[in-house]
Structure 1
Amino acid sequence: MKWQKTPQELVVFLEKRLKNVKCQSRKMFGCPAYFINGNMFVGAFQKDIFIRLPPGDIKGILEKYAEMKPFKPRAGVTMKEYVVIPEALYTRRKVFFELLNKSVRYVRTLAPKKGRKEH
């Protein structure tokens, strides 16, 4: 698949939905990504959103939402604990916030990454 720049509308969409989450924004894969205690939990990648979920929940979520897939930023590379939320799902407010809340709760349980500070 040819690489596509993340649309500005998607960048703004994520910024608005994360305004009440204490997190940091940095670039990952040339696209905006968000971190809690140095642990990435959500971001934009090309035209989609990727999100980190508890390992024990992923299978059930992929079964519940057939449109979602494991996150593969490039051929042959699958990021475990991450799934892609396509536009058909992330624009459904209830679905997006259900997944976001699950992600935030999970990532807050992870050990902070050394060398990263909260801003």
Structure 2
Amino acid sequence: MEIPRPSDEVKEFFRSVIPEGPDVVVKPMFGNLGAFVNGNMFAGLFGDDIGVRVLDETRLAELGAIPGTGPFGPAEHAMGGYTSLPRDWRQTPERASEWIAVALEDVSRLPAKQPKPRAPRKKE
């Protein structure tokens, strides 16, 4: 499976709609970007698509009813629990910001992920 890369413009847009906070971190993931709170991803890029993780079922149904939303990730294996935002929301960043804030709020309630220990380096 080939992983699409986001354009610089989309990366810049993504960073601009991610709220700042002491527990919010944006970092590279497989050539894309992910936004994390307490180690849990709440928003990410897959190519030029922005996906959010909305846990509240009512809000998730509301988001899913908006034209242009859909599965997030590879077509053959979409990421469960994530919904892609309409691409035309780049013209109205407040719409994207609103749903990213919902995802941040939902995911921030999850228990913090503990970092996995690094595997020891092999001696050569």
TM-score bracket, shorter-length normalisation = 0.7 to 0.9
Matched, 1:114 2:120: no
- Structure 1 runs, 4 residues or longer, greater than 4 Å off: none
Q: Relative to structure 2, which stretch is displaced further, 31-40 or 14-23?
A: 14-23
Secondary structure in 2 matching 1:98: helix
Matched, 1:30 2:31: yes
Q: Percent identity?
A: 24
The structure carrying a bigger strand percent of its residues is: 1
Structure 1 gaps of 5+ residues are none
Q: What does 1:55-70 correspond to in 2, within 5 Å? A: 55-56=56-57, 57-63=59-65, 65-70=66-71
In structure 2, distance between residues paired with 1:88 and 1:105: 24
In structure 2, distance between residues paired with 1:30 and 1:48: 13
**Match for 1:60: what amino acid?**
E
Q: 2:120 maps to which residue?
A: none
Please state how far the C-alpha of 1:47 moved relative to its aligned partner.
1.2
Contact 1:24 1:35 in 2 (8 A): yes
Structure 2 gaps of 5+ residues are 117-124
Pick the structure with greater CA Rg: 2
State the TM-score, normalized to the length of structure 1: 0.81
Please state how far the C-alpha of 1:90 moved relative to its aligned partner.
3.9
Contact 1:43 1:51 in 2 (8 A): yes
State the TM-score, normalized to the length of structure 2: 0.79
